[in-house]
Amino acid sequence: MRVLVDADACPVKDEIYRVAKRHGAGVTVVSNAWLRIPEDPSVERVVVSDGFDAADDWIAEHAGSDSVVVTSDILLAGRCLEARATVLAPNGKPFTANSIGGAIATRALMADLRSGGEQLGGPPPFAKADRSNFLQALDQAIVRLARR
């Protein structure tokens, strides 16, 4: 069992390390640049090229039914769901087969509006409640995988 982290902009890396350690799960931190990670043999750093979607490609290729992927990238989430991985956003919201289609459609609609010159606000700021929701969701996801 492994937690794969789309790490470049992930605000919950410390929480991932803590929950994974408690459950004996490994963590792979994937980024385009070197990031500090805990000195722990269960935590692995993978630095990919700075090519477009290089980190996403690496994660999608290594995701499977025995992994939890943490990402806010909707397209990566879809690719990982196809690989039968459990996928969580950093705010704790799970991506599921039932929700990913709507999320991708909304993403495309927002991109179209932005390209047409619409001034749209971004996502809400990351809040303390988001961190708490993520901790609970990750813990539950790891427990579910361990029971399989």
pLDDT digits (tens, 9 = 90+) for 63-112: 999 999 999 999 999 999 999 999 999 999 999 887 776 666 665 666 66
CB 72 within 8 A of CB 87: no
Which pTM was predicted?
0.86
Please write the tens of the pLDDT for every residue from 31-57. Answer: 999 999 999 999 999 999 988 899 999
List the domains of the chain with CATH numbers: 2-147 (3.40.50)
**Nearest residue to 31 (alpha-carbon basis) of 52, 47, 10, 43:** 47
Q: How far apart are the two ends of the chain, measured CA to CA in Å?
A: 11
Q: Among the residues of the chain, which ranges form H helices? A: 13-23, 54-62, 74-82, 97-115, 128-147
As a whole number of angstroms, the distance between CA 25 and CA 38 comes to 14
